[in-house]
Amino acid sequence: MGGSVAAGAMIVGTSLLVVFALAMSTLNSQVESGLSELETAAEPIPSFTIDSATNIGTSTTGAVVDFTINDGGTGYTQDALVETSSDTWRGFNATLVVDSFGEVTDLVITAYGSSYLYSSSFQIDVVVDCTPTCDGNLDITATLGNVVQVQITNDGNVDMDTDYTWIFENGQNIKSLSDQFLGDRSNTIFPGETFTYDALPRLGGQNLVSGNMAVTCDEVTKSITVT
């Protein structure tokens, strides 16, 4: 009889230990979940505004969005400033990239400019006279088109990482803010800073963008109508 009682007590005790272990496991899971939610809630949410989204081009005029190097010449200087050959300066700026012989191999566009007539052709010329070091044979043809410039201001109190901040055109053409036509820029938009994104180069006339541009950062999404 005593053995049966002892066995029964052991079974009951084991059952209680199992129940206790399950209860502790559930409690630990709830505590971890609660801590995770508290940590998430404690993380500040980014705040930003899209100040503008503007077509640089019109139906008859555009910006310099590309170029063709017909002759790189020789004797040119790295980072020399260039503009377009126009009767008035229309905002385009770039600097030269040259090899060891001073031959121009590329341009770094720093501003697209605007108001270039599609019906005209434009050459890209060195602003400062490079003679006698260069041969004067540099020949670069400008390609005109449209670009949408988007101004984004970080009006919150946390940094915005451009690698993980996304921009959309009418819900398509998804890109990160660090991936833009002029090349990589700062990877951080600091609080109070306004960031310019140059999006969607379109070659030739009649390529204006209509609809909306939207920006998403950490599940916060804002949109604006392109003008």
Separation of alpha carbons 122 and 172, rounded Å:
32
Least confident of 26-30, 79-83, 128-132, 176-180: 26-30
Q: Are 115 and 90 in contact (CB under 8 A)?
A: yes
Q: Going by CATH, does the domain composed of 48-57+147-225 fall within 1.10.150?
A: no
User: In this model, does residue 99 exceed pLDDT 90?
Assistant: yes
Confidence of residue 220 (pLDDT cuts 50, 70, 90): very high
pLDDT in the model for residue 225: 93
Separation of alpha carbons 84 and 71, rounded Å:
16
User: In this model, does residue 144 exceed pLDDT 70?
Assistant: yes
Q: What mean pLDDT, rounded, does the chain reach?
A: 80
User: In this model, does residue 135 exceed pLDDT 60?
Assistant: yes
For 150-172, the pLDDT digits (tens) are: 999 999 999 999 999 999 888 88
C-alpha distances in Å from residue 221, one per residue of 51, 82, 145, 178, 218: 14, 39, 29, 17, 8
CA 95 to chain centre: 22
For range 142-150, the mean pLDDT: 86
As given in the structure block, the two tokens for residue 127 are 């602003």
User: In this model, does residue 21 exceed pLDDT 60?
Assistant: no
Separation of alpha carbons 39 and 68, rounded Å:
53
Tally of helices (H runs) and strands (E runs) in the chain? 1, 15
